Structure 1
Amino acid sequence: MNGFTVLDDPTGTVTARTTNPDGAATPRYAEFRLASPEVALDAHGVRERLDVPSWDGPTVTAAARELLGRAASARWAGEPAPILVGTIPFDPSRPAHLVVPAHQSWRPVAAASRRRTGDVAGAATHDLPGRDDAVFRAAVGRAVSRIEAGEAEKVVLARTLDVSAPAPLDRAALRAAMREANPDAYVFDVALPGGQGHLVGASPELLVSVRDGVLHSHPLAGSAPRSADPEEDRATAQRLLASEKDLREHAFVTDAIREVLRGFVEHDDDLDVPTTPELVATSHLWHLGTPVTARLRPGTSVLDVVYALHPTPAVCGHPQDVARELIGSLEPFDRGFYTGLVGWADQAGNGEWAIVLRCGVVRGADVRLFAGAGVVAGSTPEAEHAETAVKLSTLLSALGGVA
C-alpha cells in the first residue's frame, strides 16, 4: 500500500525497506490490528510479503515457514520473533493478503464497561438495514427452491449496504465503539492491498486458535435477535436452543469441522466436539455455538488447519461445491475478504484466526457493510432479510457513535 494516511495515527505509517527482483529498495506499507477478548495485536510496515504460486494449505504453510525462518535469522537482537499477519479471502484459492510486519506489539485488552447503541449519524439519505433489499429476498427464494429440489442442504447468502458519514471516519473511535458493544468479539482493522480501504469489524466467531499444539475453535450457526425486554430475551434464547431448523443448520457446521479435524489428530480422544450447542450472546443476536478442542499431531501449523477448514458451512453452505456455485450465481457482488479470515501465525505453528463477519470496508467517509444468513429448508426471504438487518446493526451502531 502506497500513499495512504491513517486518520487515527498521528505518527503516520511505518515504512519498511524491501527489495525488488532488480535489487532496488522500495518503500512498502501496511497496517494490521486484531484484538481478541483478551489481547490486542498492532502491526505496521512490511518486512516480507507472502506470494505463492498456489493458494492452498500445504503451499501456504511451507512458504510461511520459510519466510518466517528467513525473517527470524535476519532480526536484530532484542526484536520479537517475527509473525505473519493478514487476511484470507472467502475463496481460499484466491490470493491472500499476508505479510511479515516490520513492527509489532501486543497489549492486554481492557474490560469493556458499557454498551453503545444508535444509528449511523447523517445516513437518512442512504439505505438503512430495515429498507427492503429486493435482490436479496429474490436470491433467498431461489436458494430455497434449489434446496427443496434436493440440490443442496444449506447455502449462506449475503448482501451489502453502502453508507456515508459526514466526514472521514475516525477508525480508532470506531474500534473502541465496537469493543464496548461487543467485548467478546474479535475486533479487526486491516489495510487492504491496492488501495481498497480498511477492512473493519467485530467478529463473534473464532475459526481456530492454536497454542503449543492445542487447538480451539468456536463455530457459530443459527441465530435470533436479542430483545431489550429481559423476559422476551430469555424466551428467544430458549426458542433458539430448541429450534429444529437452527439446530440442523448448526449441525452442518460442527459435522464438517469434526471430519476435517480428524485428519489432524493421532487419536479419536484427542478431539472433543460436543454434540449439543450452547447459547452465545452478542449485543444484537443470540447464536448457537459449540466449543471445539483438539490436540494436534506434532508439526501441524495453524495454517494447515485454517486452509483445511475454510470456508466452513457457517459462511458457505453444504455441500460446499454446490453452495459456492449458488453463491456465485445469486450474489450480485464479489465478497472479497468478507466471510474470509483475519489473523496471525508464527514459525512454531501457533496462531489465531477469526472469521471476517460484522464488518465493512471503510474508505474515508464511505463504508460498504456486509451481512449474510444461512438458508436451509424452511427459510423465508422475510426472516433471512430481517436477520441480515440485525447483523448490519452491529457496525451501524458503532458508526452512529463516531460519525
Structure 2
Amino acid sequence: MHYPENKELQYLFGKVENQLKNDLPFAIYRKPEQEELVGVFQMDKELRFTNFQDRGFVFAPFDLTKGAVLIRPDEIVTGTHSLQKKLDRAEVALSDEGKKEHLELVEKGIQEIGKGNLKKVVLSRKMEVALTKSPLAIFNDLLQQYPNACCYLFHHPEVGTWCGATPETLVKVKGGELWTMSLAATLPFEGNEDPTWGSKEIEEQDMVSDYIREKLHPALERLEIDEAKSVRAGNLWHLRSEVRGRMKPETDIQKVIITLHPTPAVCGIPTQDAMDFIMRNENYQRTFYTGFLGELNLLGPNDVSLFVNLRCMELNGDKASIFVGGGITSASNPLNEWIETQNKSKTMLGIL
C-alpha cells in the first residue's frame, strides 16, 4: 500500500506488516479525536489471558467467561497520523440475504419481552463479504473516515484478525476518576437535519442510564449522569449521556469491568437473561463482536481506556465478516429493526 510521507508512520506500518507476515500478535490503534497512533507488539505467539491486573492491550469477547486476551507490550511504537482528505463515501449495494431469519429473530425477542422475561434485548446478525484490500489498507481507510471513533487493527495467530471503528467507550479510569457513557438508539444521518427521536428511542436511552446508575452506584463514591444528547457517528445518529464518577478506594478495575460488561447497548436488560436469550437464538457465535478492547495499565497503574467492539469486522483470508445489531424493546417493529441493521452495515461495507 502507499505509505504517507511520514518516517515514523512508515516505520510503524512496516512493523505491522512484519508482524502479519510472521503471524505474530499485535494491536495498532488510535483513540477518538487524536492524532497519535500506538502499536503494541508481542514477540512470541503465546496466547495470554488477563485478570485486568496486567499491562498491555486487552481484547475481550462478548462472553467474558471465555477469557480476555492480552497482547504483552514487548515493544510499543507510536506515530502521528494526520487526516488527509476524507474518502468519498462509496455507494453500497445492500443485499436482502438473511432478512427472513432476522425478522423472525426480532419477533421472538419482542414476544419474550411481552412475556415479561426481558425489558430489552440486543439482537444481531453476521454478514460475509469478499475482501479485496489488505488489513493495513482497511485500517488506514478507517482512520481517514472515522476521526471521532477508536480505530484499531488486532491480530493474534490463535484468535484471528479484527479491525473496527467504535464510537462507544466501555470505561476510562485515571487517578481513581471513572468515565463512561450511556449510549442507545439509532437513526440515519440525513442531509443536515437534526434527528427527531421517538418515544421508543428516548425510553431505550433512559433504560440504559438507569441500568448504569444502579450497577455502578455500589462501586463509586460519586456518580453523575448528564442529559442525553444527539451525537453523530459516521452516517448514524445516537443518543448519548456522559457518565462520570469517583471510585471507592477499595474498588478495583476488574470489578468495574465485570459490572459494566456487557452493557445494555450490546446485550440487554436484565443482563444474564438477555445474554441467555442471545446465546440460544442468534444463529452464530459473536466471539469478539460486542466484546471490548483497549489499553490496560499501559500508560501507568490503574490507567485504563476500553472501548466496546462495535462497527467491527473479522478478516479471514479473502472474506470479511461484518456484524450488525439493534436494541429490541416492546415498542420495536421487526421491519424497522431490519432497516436499522441495513443502515448500520453501510459503515463497514463502505470501507470495503
Instruction: Report the CA distance between 1:11 and its aligned residue.
Output: 5.6
1:133 matched to 2:128? The reply is: no
* Residue type of the alignment partner of 1:272: E
In the other structure, the counterpart of 2:224 is 272
The counterpart of 2:201, out of the listed 237, 246, 250, is 246
Quick one: percent identity of the two aligned structures? 27
Task: Supply the distance in 1 between the matched residues of 2:334 and 2:147 (Cα, whole angstroms).
Answer: 31
The counterpart of 1:142, out of the listed 108, 116, 119, is 108
* Residue type of the alignment partner of 2:224: D
Cα deviation, 1:335-361, whole Å, max 9, x if unaligned, reads 000000011211611111100001110
In the other structure, the counterpart of 2:38 is 41
1:334 matched to 2:285? The reply is: yes
Instruction: Report the CA distance between 1:9 and its aligned residue.
Output: 5.2
Cα deviation, 1:3-59, whole Å, max 9, x if unaligned, reads xxxx975761299xxxxxxxxxxx98311122112243211115786447xxxxxxx
Task: Supply the distance in 2 between the matched residues of 1:110 and 1:341 (Cα, whole angstroms).
Answer: 26
Task: Supply the distance in 1 between the matched residues of 2:71 and 2:42 (Cα, whole angstroms).
Answer: 9
Counterparts of 1:152-171 in structure 2, within 5 Å, are 152-165=118-131, 167=132, 169-171=133-135
In the other structure, the counterpart of 1:378 is 331
SS of the residue corresponding to residue 64 of structure 2 reads: coil
Distance 1:112 1:215, change over 3 A: farther
**8 Å CA contact 1:279, 1:286 repeated in 2:** yes
Distance 1:303 1:113, change over 3 A: farther
TM-score by length of 1: 0.77
Instruction: Report the CA distance between 1:132 and its aligned residue.
Output: 5.2
Moved over 6 A (4+): none
In the other structure, the counterpart of 1:224 is 187
In the other structure, the counterpart of 2:27 is 32
In the other structure, the counterpart of 2:341 is 388
* Residue type of the alignment partner of 1:336: T
Counterparts of 1:93-132 in structure 2, within 5 Å, are 93-111=65-83, 113-119=85-91, 128-131=94-97
The counterpart of 1:13, out of the listed 16, 19, 24, is 19
Task: Supply the distance in 1 between the matched residues of 2:201 and 2:96 (Cα, whole angstroms).
Answer: 23
**8 Å CA contact 1:280, 1:289 repeated in 2:** yes
Task: Supply the distance in 2 between the matched residues of 1:213 and 1:345 (Cα, whole angstroms).
Answer: 14
Runs (5+) with no aligned partner, structure 2: 1-12
In the other structure, the counterpart of 1:79 is none
In the other structure, the counterpart of 2:10 is none
Counterparts of 1:176-187 in structure 2, within 5 Å, are 176-187=140-151
* Residue type of the alignment partner of 2:25: A
Cα deviation, 1:67-91, whole Å, max 9, x if unaligned, reads x4xxxxxxxxxxxxxx321211101
1:200 matched to 2:171? The reply is: no
Task: Supply the distance in 2 between the matched residues of 1:353 and 1:202 (Cα, whole angstroms).
Answer: 13
Count of residue pairs the alignment pairs up: 336
In the other structure, the counterpart of 1:75 is none
Structure of larger gyration radius: 1
The counterpart of 2:61, out of the listed 55, 71, 89, is 89
* Residue type of the alignment partner of 2:239: L
Counterparts of 1:354-365 in structure 2, within 5 Å, are 354-365=307-318
TM-score by length of 2: 0.87
Distance 1:13 1:377, change over 3 A: same
